[in-house]
Amino acid sequence: MKKSLETPIKLNKTVALCIAAYQEDPDYLRKCLQSVKRLTYPGIKVVMVIDGNSEDDLYMMDIFSEVMGRDKSATYIWKNNFHEKGPGETEESHKESSQHVTQLVLSNKSICIMQKWGGKREVMYTAFRALGRSVDYVQVCDSDTMLDPASSVEMVKVLEEDPMVGGVGGDVQVHMASLFA
């Protein structure tokens, strides 16, 4: 019997999945989060940032809590974001609220943050800034993405096997059922 030349990968790197959400269709968001729960990467951290903190956006936070588990996840409504102070906020209180968001992200395995609208870059900035250098790899997706259970494992394998590879993208496919709904 021939031995495989492939060296088994050690899954000892830390990974955070950052999900950008903006007025997402509830069914798509639920499917996205259910796929996140099926990820096979051990200990993956999940950070979903909602672009907007109005009452109309609360349904996304509710879906996050429902799917990820109310007892296994945290939520936070931020009246501002990293770049903009909230109404009546001082420079000092803005710094404190930014530090609070960072602490929430670092101390929870699964967290959803609703923040002042700022666009997709601001949403990603919040996740990246709050994570800082606390993880080895960051995986990103939109709130209408359904992830293959092995996607994080496969991406880490590629990154770990070749030090010249600086980033990995997934195989994106259109879910046909949604085209005919």
DSSP secondary structure string for all residues of 115-137: E----HHHHHHHHHHHHTTSSSE
Distance between CA atoms of 30 and 34, rounded to whole angstroms? 6
Q: What is the mean pLDDT of residues 61-78?
A: 97
pLDDT of amino acid 45: 98
Sketch out the chain's domains with CATH numbers. Answer: 15-180 (3.90.550)
pLDDT of amino acid 180: 53
Distance between CA atoms of 92 and 95, rounded to whole angstroms? 5
Q: Give residues with Cβ within 8 angstroms of 107, minimum separation 6.
A: none
Q: What is the mean pLDDT of residues 55-71?
A: 97
pLDDT of amino acid 4: 47
pTM (predicted TM-score): 0.90
CB 147 within 8 A of CB 35: yes
Amino acid symbol at 68: M
pLDDT of amino acid 175: 64
pLDDT of amino acid 6: 55
